[in-house]
Amino acid sequence: MKRLPKKVFSLSLACAVCVSIAGCADADSSSTSDSKAETTTAPIVESVGDLDYSDYNIQNDADPDFAFYTEAEDCDLAGGVSVFDSAFLGSFSGTGFVSGFTAADSTMSFTYDFPTDGIYDFAITCAVDSAGASNNIAIDGTVTASFSVQNTTEFAVNTVQKVTIPKGEHTISITKGDGNLYVDKLEITASPVLDLSQYEVSNQLCNPNANDQTKRLYNFLTDVYGKYTLSGQYSSSDLGMESREFKEIEKATGESPAIIGLDLIEASTSRGGSTEPVKSVSNAIAYWNQGGIVTLCWHWSAPEPYIGQNGADRSKGFYTDQTTFSLAAALDGSDPEGYDLLLEDIKNIAAQLQVLQDAGVPVLWRPLHEAAGDPAYPNNQWFWWGASGAEAYKELWNLLYDQLTNVYQLNNLIWVWDGQRSDYYPGDETVDILGYDIYAAEHDYSSQSDTYNYLKSATPTKKIVALTENGVLFDVDAAFADGTRWAWFSVWNGEFTIKDMQLSDQYTEIDMWKKVYANDRVLNLSDLPDLKAYPLNTD
């Protein structure tokens, strides 16, 4: 185990506190108290085991008065980027602006000798052709930050906050993202101190009857949020921790992920699902008993009568273009059979989750994921549960919550919303954690701060924010410095992890795999405390 800062608070003492409150692990999985856990924004304990729960801030050695300014036309331009002086975007400073970010190697760059190590804000006066287009900031050729731009009719300042730059001479570049960019000027200043209060989230779950073991896990997540990021990995097929992804990560890094990601895809009725436990359930129980954490998604195949028609692929009945099922019709009463079949599927999935509850396994439950599809393309909802629009989706989410929580009395679920667009947010009453799935370009190790901040805007309530699926790892040091402190990441399986049965460097280079898993701010399986004995609320 990598050594972490410690405080004098042993795990045995933590368990002693736990025993005095709720009988420690033996009394935790069956609680159905009618009263909610008292809300708190303070850590439950100061320290458990080897973890330091104190606030984590990073000193900024940059001079508070530091400022650097350049006109875009004075930078080095490459890859078709050139200078323009048209007024179609309004007035500009200097002698013009630059555009032509259309090729893979399109860049504007400059070199500067930074006097100290520091954390800096970039104010980029720019515009784009398509609202939401993203572009990148690279330091010495490595992408370290990305930013999206909304303004299309005139220049406006777009700020990228808290970029870490070491002392010395560095080449700073703006590189092509997914759309053409117009840049007028750029200014760099020292960043202000990070506000740590943004990570002070309530430890009260949306289900007031959540059982004790689920409260323990959520208490842990709220305690470490903003201080650590948990490593996560989706397992392929039905192999769980025996999958090649897990074996190759351990071989390369010496560590195993704190979180295992599994899919209840085979539990859908139209895929032959029944009330008998699927492999993902037994694999979830095994990982929890190894000391790990479980997250479950559900590629919910549409009901049987609506798949496999007109040459559609029956095995992909969760995709909008592979089913004739209309969620809107099922919910508005015009397709009562469709509604009844939805309830039947929910009954089946409840049976799977009941097995986990009976085994004492709390679940980071992430249903109806990626509902809005790609936010840059409003009508590209690739899953049927999002294809009828935000209102139908939210109605389905709340129906699912009501059925699982109130009808089937499943009290082991931590509800993770992953709708990909803020208008799909169903409300604080049925959501515990905000999630987002990001598949960045190969070797793009930026923190994805724009998406992190966008996700927080879905609700004024402070909630844990997690990177619930990703294809590329991010630079954890840079992410903690700029405040993008994802609660966990969870790399998808297959090509994003494995190539030719070995750990792949296609999306994340092997050195970055090792760097992330060795980082003191990343918690792996071996770093987790005994979550079965984690303290309940001690107020």
In contact, 519 and 479? CB cutoff 8 Å = no
Burial class (CB in 10 A: 0-12, 13-18, 19+), 426: buried
Residue count of the chain: 539
In sequence order, what DSSP letters do the residues of 324-362 get, joined into one string? ---HHHHHTTS-HHHHHHHHHHHHHHHHHHHHHHHTT--
Structure tokens at 150: 């909304």
Residues sharing a CB contact under 8 Å with residue 29, sequence separation 6 or more, in sequence order:
211, 212, 213, 357, 360, 412
CA distance linking residue 83 with residue 501, whole number of Å:
48
Sequence-distant (6+) residues with CB within 8 A of 445 are: 142, 143, 144, 472, 473, 474, 475, 478, 508, 512
Question: Is-catalytic flag, 395?
Answer: no
CA distance 403 to 62: 54
Q: Are strands 293-297 and 259-263 parallel, antiparallel or unpaired?
A: parallel
Catalytic residue among 71, 73, 255, 469: 469
For residue 54, give both structure tokens. 């104190």
The active-site residue, picked from 73, 245, 248, 370, is: 370
d(CA 520, CA 3): 8
Q: Is 469 a catalytic residue?
A: yes
Question: What is residue 259's three-state secondary structure?
Answer: strand
CA angle 139, 441, 463 (to 5 degrees): 90
As a three-state string, the secondary structure of 36-85 is: CCCCCCCCCCCCCCCCCCCCCCCCCCCCCCCEEEEEHHHCEEECCCEEEC
Angle at CA of residue 258, ends 257 and 262, nearest 5°: 75
Q: What one-character DSSP code corresponds to residue 405?
A: I
Give the up-direction half-sphere exposure of residue 188: CA atoms within 13 A in the CB hemisphere.
Answer: 19
On the 0-12 / 13-18 / 19+ scale of CB atoms within 10 A, 473 is buried
Q: Where are the alpha helices (DSSP H) in 359-409?
A: 384-387, 390-402
Helix axes 244-253, 510-518, angle to 10 degrees: 80
Contact indicator for 268, 241 with CB cutoff of 8 Å:
no
C-alpha to C-alpha distance for 470 and 220, rounded to whole angstroms: 23
The catalytic residue positions are 370, 469
